[in-house]
Structure 1
């Protein structure tokens, strides 16, 4: 009889007993669930399931079931720094240990960053449980970030710990290399015919033994932890291989003692064991250095925020305080050259602010009262007084740091294959080594020495490290350098999607255009333009839509009558009662839906649309009479045409989706060089149009947008790209977010995503090829154990070095600026 286990989940969104019943029904329908009960008062669910079911699978399935039922399970994320991992097999063991903790819904481990991210229902798991599970598996862990808090201190703490670990690895590597030098030198001399330069057997033993069991102790410790967990790792392979070489040498030396007295010195292999340990130690040091460089972009972001700020007291005096003591509503004073410590609004002063560290924009941005400033940006000139709106973990800088870290923790789809191979890699290598020993022993007349050397070479040439580092190393460098230039890659899957893109679809307003329309023309049926403007401005008094702002700006300070029965028609317009008249303001679709003829002003509308202007109509819904029209001009962004041309040079097709009329949309498309246009679309139409375009071209599609109305289209595309000047809804839906409203960044985002994906595939190709070629060479005796150890140590270094080449990547705008005379 299996032992039952239980799981407690918080559930939000329930309002009555029927809600609780629906949640219970959804949970009871899951395979393996024995019972489920929901407490409406405490907003929680208690699930009892069979002990054979995996906790992680059950937690994830339960959360998904609650979500499908129409409710939510609040989650919390834990970030842990992990020490003791050495290869891809370790990644699998750590993930398995974390997922074994009851309540854990998901766990992802990054070997290059030596970190893990765990997701669990709120309150079901604490960091102590996770750390205890990892210690039981043979690894040390520490929490370095709290979900929802400021990531900067955690990153600083990690950087300091990494620096100390790097110094220790360097010292141990140099010491081991110094002790190995006489052995390697003697081995080279022997190959050149100078056999008298090799150290005596006793001296070899006295040096090799502490190297093997003191400097090489880490391999035994980690290898033993792997064995206790029922698996294997790189450390186990190194420990077995070097111990075999040391043991063989010691046995040959003891057995040959009688012959040594007569001047016959047996050939020993201490140089093999000590050189392998030295090379692996050297490789680990270089690997640690490269790992530090992969996080360089994140460290650069971290250094942006100052540690202190000058705050204005209530009496007008100033005080210097630590940034941790700042609160929303505080007033900060910024002189020229000082960095902003928090997000806020300028309330006094004028100046220019350098935002390049967040957006990649090299030119300073002018700021005046009412403008937003971000933590980490720098006041270049002028004196500014800023009222704080967001502090610590809620600032844009902190959100970027969390976003980049989450992206670096993610695994692209190709990594799933690597994880499956890594899980069986070490057992397969051990099996190959045993077969190699048996066959070599048989084919060489029972010569243990030759058979053991071939088996040792197989053990030490195998390198799961390169497999484990291939993806996360490139991902860390790629996402980091992208963030440095204002491109945030939120989803690792976006890398592969960018590679397969065939077409990029743009929203028009606010994406290809400035998004700041002005009333360029207006026509009133009765000639009373002032009344027309007053009615329209009254309808739009509470709207945040750009066209509404344009009408209010044109109306100026005119007194506006109140509006009643206001209603918003998504993608079409608005209606409301003003001075007793039920008015409509919107596009021609809204007029058609209410049976109003636009013919009296159709000629004027077509003329305006032919100039690329957006037309809105004002009509009386009761009398079905047209009152007038407004034409809005919204100029294309300065870089839109160049962005379209660049995408075409990259072999991509470009389309534009717009809710505007065909005439207005086609006029803008013609100016920008876009051939494919879909106009007159409602927000819900864009997803269907994307599906149609996908079928037409037979490939993946990217959607670029910036507004709330774009969120469904971004989600429906293969790759959503949100412009940084847009809304949070668009950014949360997109796989890539651009931190400034520059269409040229779209091509840059696709380029860096493709470059990162290419490095990942190159790394994986090298790692697989290295093992596929190296292991057979070692098995057939064509590779000396010393050379095998050196090759293994440097295979992971080469993978990291290839990933670090991504640091050379630069956006097109910077390349063009540098190319100018």
Structure 2
């Protein structure tokens, strides 16, 4: 162990709803289009007084600033000093529920249509909840709704204050009989074709019936897509089926349309699992609570109607409906749904309760501290929902790839249909048929859908563990962490000093402790409070103190039981001339253990020594050992003295400790680590407030104990809902698992496409085989992505 003294690019950013008192100003900055400008602006504005949040959208060249400022003139002056051409954009945020939008096909169609509308600034899609958040000019809303209706994807305006998860419209369930009838007709068409040895008017009739019953919606969507110059799967399938009929492949056209409709239904059911993964969080809190009325009676009320300050009664075994503070009773509460803690937590008057947690065997009464829509659980759900908008690097790559892949394969299909017959004397029907097969596999549905399902599954699994990840980018990039800097107080330690040692040197031990505690009880210093608390826990009564006087930088003096006494540090004892080699040896031994020593002195000399230390969390040693096993180097950044920092680091197993650091020095240390390390490899763990500059600068910032804390949930990249550091190795393992699944899905989707491209040119692929390959690949990658849900304990 050594001792010293002393970027992520997001194409879209999903901001949380601003907390109370925070206003949002939005700027368009035309010369901000890469991470270099983002870092420049962030470094200038992050420390600006009154600024709470910075939300960058590099693709849209916009910056949203959450602030508490009366005037933004100072902010605009800072941007101008950086030569950033910032123009204030007054836009409106509207959330729409779109029942028919549940896969990337509809997202691309909507994005292309609305992206060209004047007055539309940004689009933020939530496919799992079928919602779209739009930043736009107020006058543009009518045109937006009309454009969606023209796409046969009508939108319903949602209340922005409503929980994101609860507001989405469910897609209407398709009746089963048209699909069944289509399958029967397609099968009969195949049988009749085989019996007659070719086409027959009955074969064509059955095929038309199968296509009409099972594929009308596909044709309607395909026509809308073509009208909007979009080659989605519906457009490609419509062209392929129509082409098959034109070249006389009636039974195969019918079977292809039926198989496609069947695969769409199966895929929709599979995606519902990912939707329920997050919606299941919402079901943790009950809909009703038992509330005290003005006449003193109790009545069950909807949780959404309960006001802050109301008294709620909680029976044994009940699930808690709202955040609150215990006012009466004692019980053990299972907080695992919120914090991921494996054991129940004892609750007594004054302790916090979280909505969604489960009461144990005792009855409780509590005062509501937050409305249902602003509970810790609601903020967790909102954060996970918003995280879907921050696309992971792999997802951005896949989206860019898909934009090139489909037109390229469509062009190859067109050339396949024309070049062999025209230039190589090939058979027209054979090569047109091969071109139609290529069309079916031209849509990268499996590739595109695999990434959001995988990322959302990972986010939901993390939320169940009590790890709140603020975007897919952090979930995926967590695997790169190679160095983790940890704050000491409140992170590795409890942040509350306790008395660890007591040595009576003159007189009865209990009396020495009573005298010291009586003096310490009159001080607000954390060390003094620890001494007084230890005496109270031992059942010792305080003594009367007279003539109490503080000695700045040294301690206190006063008269106890008629004797003048001093309680203070090493310097005070030296000043009194009471130090001796024996006492010096005792002090050095305790201080080398990282403990602060206080001495009680009477008229005859030193009567007792009290050592106080900030104790380690139970999870710290295990967490550091797990990090080392994962290949992550650990570094402690502390403002404490060198002896204490070294002792804690040695006890925990930290690789390197840096002591006596101011907040700006912690930031400088993180910046040096970033300069000497690969991109995305430096993390920082702190309390989310005191270490804010270093947390913000690190590749990934982790906030400890975020449950119930607005600031930590809203500002951290990753928030640990309780104080268990072992969640960080769990996050890294989940990140690595997510990256593996993403790579598997991409490889699987591309391999299947490549195989069928080869089979098509060799003449061995058929239309129905292509449908199986395309939709089968989609189902496989969805199922593979959902495996991450099993990562939750």
Bin the TM-score by the shorter chain.
Answer: 0.7 to 0.9
TM-score with structure 1 setting the length: 0.75
- Distance between the aligned counterparts of 2:295 and 2:317, measured in 1? 25
Aligned counterparts of 2:182 and 2:726: Cα–Cα separation in 1: 51
The counterpart of 2:146, out of the listed 132, 136, 154, is 132
CA shift in 2, pair 1:173/1:630, >3 Å = farther
Structure 2: 5+ residue stretches without partners = 1-17, 20-24, 33-56, 80-87, 537-541, 559-566, 573-578, 601-607
Q: Which residue of 2 aligns with 1:717?
A: 698
Residues 1:153 and 2:166 aligned together = yes
Aligned residue pairs total: 706
Residue 404 of structure 1: aligned partner: 384
With over 3 angstroms needed to count, the CA separation of the structure-2 counterparts of 1:709 and 1:606, relative to structure 1, is farther
Equivalents in 1 of 2:288, 2:301: separation in Å? 6
Work out whether residues 313 and 319 of structure 1, in 8 Å CA contact, stay in contact via their aligned partners in 2. yes
Matched residue SS, 1:139: coil
1:343 aligns with 2:323: yes
Give the one of 609, 623, 629 matched to 2:591: 609
Residue 125 of structure 2 corresponds to residue 109 of structure 1: yes
Q: Distance in 2 between matches of 1:697 and 1:472?
A: 29
- SS of the counterpart of 2:388? helix
Question: Equivalents in 2 of 1:680, 1:384: separation in Å?
Answer: 44
Question: Partners in 1 of 2:345 and 2:663 — Cα distance?
Answer: 32
The equivalent residue for 2:38 is none
Cα deviation, 1:98-149, whole Å, max 9, x if unaligned, reads 44455544323244554333346xx8478666433433444233345x4343
Distance 1:686 1:323 in 2: 44
SS in 2 for 1:634: strand
1:485 is aligned to 2:491: no
Residues 56 and 102 of structure 1 are in contact (CA less than 8 Å); yes or no, is this contact kept in structure 2?
no
Matches within 5 A, 1:255-294: 269-294=249-274
Deviation at 1:467, TM superposition (A): 2.5
Q: Which residue of 1 aligns with 2:43?
A: none
Range with greater deviation from structure 2 (653-662 or 78-87): 78-87
The residue aligned with 2:733 is 751
1:661-700 equivalences under 5 Å are 661-696=641-676, 698=678, 700=681
* Alpha-carbon distance, 1:456 to partner: 0.7
TM-aligned CA deviation for residue 801 of structure 1 = 1.1
**Conserved? CA contact 2:192–2:203, under 8 Å:** no
> Gaps spanning 5+ residues in structure 1: where?
1-10, 13-22, 32-53, 188-194, 250-268, 564-572, 580-584, 592-598, 619-627, 812-821
Alpha-carbon contact 1:724-1:738 (below 8 Å) kept: yes
Q: Residues 152 and 398 of structure 1 are in contact (CA less than 8 Å); yes or no, is this contact kept in structure 2?
A: no
**Equivalent position of 1:595 in the other structure:** none
**Residues 20-50 of structure 1: CA distance to partner in whole angstroms, max 9, x if unpaired?**
xxx99x989989xxxxxxxxxxxxxxxxxxx
Q: Deviations over 1:322-373 (max 9, x none)?
A: 2222111111111112122211111111112121211222322111111111
RMSD: 4.6
Preserved contact between residue 87 and residue 468 of structure 1 (Cα < 8 Å)? no
Task: Name the CA shift for 1:309/1:729 in 2 (closer, same or farther; >3 Å).
Answer: closer
The 3-state SS of whatever aligns with 2:732 is helix
Task: Give secondary structure in 1 for the equivalent of 2:247.
Answer: helix
- 1:698/1:236 Cα in 2 relative to 1: closer, same or farther (>3 Å)? closer
Q: Distance in 2 between matches of 1:61 and 1:104?
A: 16
Which residue of structure 1 lines up, in the alignment, with residue 604 of structure 2? none
Task: Name the CA distance, whole Å, in 2 between partners of 1:309 and 1:217.
Answer: 48
**SS of alignment partner, residue 494 of structure 2:** coil
Match of 2:368 in 1: 388
Structure 2 match to 1:790 = 772
Per-residue CA deviation, residues 480-536 of structure 1 (Å, 9 max, x unaligned), is 121112111112211232121112222222222223322446999xx9999998998
Please, which of 673, 680, 686 is the counterpart of residue 705 of structure 1? 686
User: What is aligned with 1:180?
Assistant: 186
Contact 1:487 1:745 in 2 (8 A): yes
Separation in 2, partners of 1:286, 1:450: 31
| 8 A contact 1:494–1:719 mirrored in 2 | yes
Deviations 1:628-660 (A, max 9, x none): 998532222222222111112212222222222
Which of 74, 85, 96 in structure 2 is aligned with 1:80?
96
Q: Alpha carbons of 1:70 and 1:312: their partners in 2 closer, same or farther (altered >3 Å)?
A: farther
User: 1:463 is paired with a residue of what secondary structure?
Assistant: coil
Q: Determine if contact 2:122/2:134 at 8 Å carries over to the other structure.
A: yes
Once residues 392 and 562 of structure 1 are traced to their aligned partners in structure 2, the CA distance between those partners, rounded to angstroms, is 52
Q: 1:252-306 CA deviation, whole Å, 9 max, x = no partner? A: xxxxxxxxxxxxxxxxx11221121122112111111111111232122121111
Aligned equivalents of 2:251 and 2:568: distance in 1?
A: 84
Identify if the C-alpha distance between structure 1 residues 87 and 330 changes in structure 2 by more than 3 Å, giving closer, same or farther.
Answer: closer
Q: TM-score, length-normalised on structure 2?
A: 0.78
Q: Residue 39 of structure 2 corresponds to which residue in structure 1? A: none
Counterparts in 2 of 1:257-656, with a 5 A limit? 269-442=249-422, 445=425, 447-520=427-500, 540=524, 550=530, 553=533, 606-613=588-595, 631-656=611-636
Query: How far apart are the structure 1 equivalents of 2:568 and 2:270?
Result: 58
CA separation in 1, counterparts of 2:296 and 2:221? 61
How has the CA–CA distance of structure 1 residues 174 and 560 changed in structure 2, closer, same or farther, with 3 Å as cutoff?
farther
CA contact (8 A) 1:436 1:454 kept: yes
Residues 27, 508 of structure 1: alpha-carbon distance in 2 compared, 3 angstrom cutoff = closer
Counterpart Cα distance in 2 of 1:508 and 1:319: 47
**1:232, distance to aligned residue in structure 2 (A):** 2.0
In 1, Cα distance between equivalents of 2:543 and 2:411: 86
Query: 2:10 — aligned with what?
Result: none
Q: 1:698 to 1:446 in 2, by over 3 A?
A: closer
Choose the corresponding residue for 2:721, options 726, 729, 739. Answer: 739
